[in-house]
Chain A
Amino acid sequence: MLARLRKNPAAKWLGLALVAAALAVLPFAVEATAGRGWVRIIDFALLYIMLALGLNIVVGFAGLLDLGYIAFYAVGAYMWALLASPHLTANFPAFAAMFPGGLHFPIWTMIPLGAALAAVFGVLLGAPTLRLRGDYLAIVTLGFGEIIRIFLNNLNAPVNITNGPQGITKIDPFSIFGVPFNKPLAVFGLNIPPVTLYYYLFLLLVVAIIFISLRLEDSRIGRAWVAIREDEIAAKAMGINTRNVKLLAFAMGATFGGVAGGLFAGFQGFVSPESFTLLESIMVLSMVVLGGMGHVPGVVLGAVLLATLPEAIRYTVVPAQKFLFDRQVIDPESLRMLLFGLALILVMLYRPAGLWPSQVRKREFAAAEKAGRVEPEQFPDRTDASEGARL
């Protein structure tokens, strides 16, 4: 069915049009059936899709396990928060003198700025870790993520840059062509609430990011990333400049995170270090792994599932417990994390390629299964740091 669709351009365009129409009416249908709270959940799911697709470039395409990815989300969010809130002008007379009307950067400058700044951070993080692979890289990136969070948490004294654990409030809402996003918009007698306006904005960016991801995957760079993932030495031998290509993966992945972070700050109107913990990094990683590393539709599926299912659990578990035990026995938040952990373990044990893997990955895993092994050696490859390791 899918194959036939691919061969028939008319059917393909018709299919795309149907999907577009469905996505366009989705917030109204959700609001009518499940309430406005769920439109907000879908908005967050869209943000998570952006994050997961960004991490997918680093982990899925290039095979570099990054456990500090949320740092780029934080960079984007804090940049937006500082450049579109009264925080800087209130705390630094120099800024107040420079911007007498207050700092209110428009969205057109913010998205490229956030993307660029996150990319710079991506390269800063990537450069010292170029020699590391696998678990070492994971731990170092985790360290970077935590360092950024600790600094955000503590840079309120003696100079108040981030306002510490209280975070930055009163961030400007978005406004495009003079249409503010914090008020309902009336179009042809139809009243569009703010969450739905945000939905369309996020959807637009998600579509752009999906398009970029798909084009990147098939590009020369994308193939270079996959080559590095499969075998870095072989990739080098084929003439790939592994250093630049890996740095590009970090920068590119960070870009999506930075954009998503900026959108998050404007959407919430508030940022604090609380939102950028290691658990968030792990959650985004779970989305990529669960969906299918390196496969764009799979990653989108993983992000949608993990962003919405826990909310559904929250809505069903609490009443169910009240009904069964007359009180709340299990805290829904810890149940959510418990399920995340179990999902990570079970997916790795039983569907290591993810729920919706790409055809290439599926073939690789199937071939490996047939041969009875995945790696040529019986034990994990020991040509790296562990070679110096002796008990």
Chain B
Amino acid sequence: MSFHPEIFLQQIVNGLVLGSIYALVALGYTMVYGILGLINFAHGEVVMIGALTALSVILALHGAAPDLPAALYILAGTLVAIPVTMTLGYTIERVAYRPLRNAPRLAPLITAIGVSIVLQNVALLVWGRSYHPWPPILPTTPHTFLGANITDLQIFIVAGAAAIMAGLTLLVNKTKLGRAMRATAENPAVAGLMGVNVNVIISITFVIGAALGAVAGVMVSANYQIAHYYMGFILGLKAFTAAVLGGIGNLAGAMLGGLLLGLIESLGAGYIGDLTGGFLGSHYQDVFAFFVLILVLVFRPSGLVGERVAERA
């Protein structure tokens, strides 16, 4: 089996695109975990609802006015999806997590699974079981770069994700709100004594995470040109893996973990056939994320940039 540099480069490009999306979703997990120490199991479903809402808006708009520029459709879809998922994020926190803040740790995890099932089946009732394809609004002619193909959409995804992550980093590190969030993550009781309204901060964290999820949902469905009610589960799981890989609770870690996982998956799926002599094929792509997750949790539970090795995770 000979090595083709242009195929390798193409896998890197695909991996970076995928990784940017994972990173955005992973930020939603990591922010909530950083503040509450809780896995928001339903986050993947929030992303799914964001994607389907945006797609419905895009389809409706495309039906009404088919000749607008592609960016306008996507912008409109995203602008509708963001408030929807924000409301959803707020409601989930209020209904399912806040009453259980003092309960044993298993309790919020189980309600989170419950919320996830409910959202999935609500989406099933609203959008049905079928796969919803995107309308043909995106330019498909790729740019060629050292033999690898990059579409406008892929450039947009990577650049957009980078801009959002930079914005979020500024928000958390430089603003008053960010300071309150960091204080709450450090110690909620003391932050409360210092005049931080902890409940509001927690709500805001959920809402920001959900908004990022909506953007990621639009990106992932645009990337695959398809959206369906079941897309949130596996995406959420991979994004969670990315968050753990980078060090859960750490913003930079989520971004790094997302990109790394995207690359691992894309290169792994591309080369597993050659490595195992054809025994395992690219349909094992989904297994990589799980193996990475298990390996990280077993050997380095604090993740790549986590601060302290956990005694008992």
Task: List residues of chain A with CB under 8 Å of any chain B CB.
Answer: 63, 65, 67, 128-129, 131-136, 138-140, 142-144, 146-147, 150-151, 154, 157-159, 232, 278-279, 282, 285, 289, 330-331, 334-335, 337-338, 340-345, 348-349, 352, 373-375, 378-391
Contacts and interface: CB of A to CB of B under 8 A. Distances in A.
Contacts of A133: 312-313
Nearest to B173: A391
A232 B312 contact: yes
A144 B293 CA distance: 10
Contact of B294 (A140, A278, A285, A387): A140
Interface string B86-98: 0000000001100
Contacts of B138: none
Contacts of B189: 378-379
Contacts of A343: 114
Contacts of B166: none
Interface of B: 31, 33-39, 95-96, 99-111, 113-118, 120-122, 124-125, 172, 181-182, 185-186, 188-189, 233, 237, 240, 244, 247-251, 278-281, 283-284, 286-287, 289-291, 293-294, 297-298, 301-302, 306-313
B110 A331 contact: no
Contact of A390 (B104, B249, B280, B284): B249
Nearest to A133: B312
A348 B251 contact: no
Contact of A374 (B95, B104, B120, B279): B104
B250 A389 contact: yes
B43 to A, nearest CB: 13
Given A139-B244, A385-B302, A386-B34, 7 more contacts: A131-B298, A139-B39, A140-B293, A159-B279, A285-B113, A330-B125, A388-B302
Nearest to A336: B121
Contact of A144 (B113, B284, B294, B306): B294
14 contacts: A139-B297, A143-B290, A144-B294, A146-B290, A334-B124, A338-B122, A341-B118, A379-B101, A388-B308, A389-B34, A389-B249, A391-B35, A391-B181, A391-B185
Nearest to B295: A128
B106, B124, B251, most chain A CB atoms within 10 A: B106
A5 B83 CA distance: 60
A385 to B, nearest CB: 4
Contacts of B240: 139
B290 A387 contact: no
